[in-house]
Amino acid sequence: MKMLLFAFITFSSLFSHCCDAATFAYRALSNGNYVIDMTGEITSGDHIRLLSIIKSEPAKFLGTTTISLHSPGGSVQEAISISELLRQSGISIGVESDQTCASSCFLIWVAADFRLSFFSSHIVIPRPYFSAESITVGNFKEK
């Protein structure tokens, strides 16, 4: 069973970076804490890749203070999935100096309880398109 799981993870990792998918990597800080850097276009499966890096090194994640975003955006649905995952963790989300968080990346940044940015950060607010068929109204009632 372990061998099958190892083969699946190895096979998945070979194709996880296709289509310029976002990459996630831990970066150690001088105080012993960590930052997870998210870099690149947001594509299908990125929230699974983020969850995978968190599960692979849980001790590092416990010492992680911030997720640092540098992305031109991409899949709105995937950004929503990532933002939900990070919002539940309560971790800070930031855009560092001279870095860009555009389009759907903004949805990740704005979902955090604690957001960080600098004067030279570039945060581009999107106007995503949702078709009428894709919107669930929920508990709202027409008058």
**CA atoms of 134 and 121, how far apart (whole Å):** 32
Average pLDDT, the chain: 83
pLDDT at 2: 42
pTM for the whole structure: 0.74
Measured CA distances, 15 to 36, 38, 56, 77 (Å): 21, 18, 18, 20
Radius of gyration over alpha carbons of the chain, in Å? 17
pLDDT at 136: 60
- Give mean pLDDT, residues 23-33: 96
- Give mean pLDDT, residues 8-19: 43
Lowest mean pLDDT among 6-15, 31-40, 80-89, 107-116: 6-15
Of 38, 54, 46, the residue nearest 102 (C-alpha): 38
Name which residue leads in pLDDT, 126 or 122: 122
pLDDT at 138: 56
